[in-house]
Amino acid sequence: MNVLTDNFSTYGKGFLGTVELTVYASLLALALGFLMASFRVAPVASLRFFGTAWVTVLRNTPLTLLFFAVLLGLPRFGLVLPFQLFAVLALGCYTSAFICEALRSGINTVPRGQGEAARSLGMTFGQTLSAVVLPQAFRSVIAPVGSTLIALAKNSAIAGAFSVTELLGTYRTLSELGYNIIWTFVWIALGYLIITLTISALFHLMEKRWGVAR
């Protein structure tokens, strides 16, 4: 127990690091995923191709390899940024592929007749999109996007191994200080459980509020 009370600030810093990483990477992943999903359903073939290539490559890339390439490779191009930013970039790009697929299958669940009806009422493309298609798609993507973001929070642990301040990395400091390593990990595990359960509860709430009854 004193492992936690003695090192509350270390744990707190690590916990906040993980939360920060998760939030920023989630925002990047959602934005990029939305962009890629719009590419993948676009009527322009080259955009569709680009979106498909992005998703296929990133979904089959080991995240460690991506971290390796981004954190150690991009500086070779003269791009020097703080490691945390690189980590957000790697995590966000990786997760965007999964977000894209979730959003795309959400858009595909909207029946074709909905769009046709909207157009025959004289709605413009923007109106069809914002008033008819996206609200319906949103309802069916809550659960898959939630589980993708939980996976993102768990994946953020990899950043710790690349010397970004986050929860898993705290074990190194604490084991140097000579604390019981098993208890150190128990509290780390608890920290991750808090984060994943919070995201899960958040999306459960959204699902309850807006989700489609299945």
Partner 1 sequence: MTATSEQEPSALYDVPGPKARKRHRIFGVLATLAIAAILGWILYLLFDTDQFTTAKWRPFAYTGIQELLLRGLGNTLKAFAYASVLSLVLGGVLAVGRLSDHRPVRWVATVIVEFFRAMPVLVMIFFVFVALQVQALPALVTGLTLYNGSVLAEVFRSGVNSVDKGQREAAYALGMRKTQVMVQVLAPQALRAMLPAIISQLVVALKDTSLGYLITYEEFLHAGKLIASNLDYDLPFIPVVMVISPIYIGMCMLLSWFAQWVSRRQRRDPKAKAAAVTRAEPGGLLPGER
Alpha helices, H only, the chain: 2-6, 8-40, 45-59, 63-67, 83-109, 112-120, 125-127, 134-155, 157-161, 170-176, 181-210
Judged by CB under 8 A, does residue 198 bind partner 1? no
Residue 37: CA atoms inside 13 Å, Cβ hemisphere, count? 24
Judged by CB under 8 A, does residue 27 bind partner 1? no
Nearer Cβ to partner 1 (24/156): 156
Among 83, 192, 198, 206, binds partner 1 (CB under 8 A): 192
Nearer Cβ to partner 1 (36/188): 188
**CB count, 10 Å around CB of 100?**
27
Let me know: does 100 contact 33? Beta carbons within 8 Å: yes
Nearer Cβ to partner 1 (5/176): 176
**Token duo for residue 5:** 């009370």
As a whole number of angstroms, the distance between CA 62 and CA 96 comes to 14
Among 65, 131, 177, 205, binds partner 1 (CB under 8 A): 65
Judged by CB under 8 A, does residue 138 bind partner 1? no
- Name 5's Cβ contacts closer than 8 Å, sequence gap at least 6: none
Let me know: does 90 contact 164? Beta carbons within 8 Å: no
Nearer Cβ to partner 1 (63/84): 63
Q: By CB under 8 A, how many residues form the interface with partner 1?
A: 67
Closest by alpha carbon to 173, among 1, 9, 2, 62?
Answer: 9
Among 27, 181, 201, 205, binds partner 1 (CB under 8 A): 181
Site track for partner 1 across 71-90, x = CB under 8 A: -xx--xxx------------
Return residues touching partner 1 (CB under 8 A): 41, 43-48, 50, 56-57, 59-65, 68-69, 72-73, 76-78, 98, 101, 107-108, 110-116, 119, 128-129, 132-133, 143-144, 147-148, 151, 154-158, 160-161, 168, 171, 175, 181-182, 184-185, 188-189, 192-193, 196-197, 204, 207
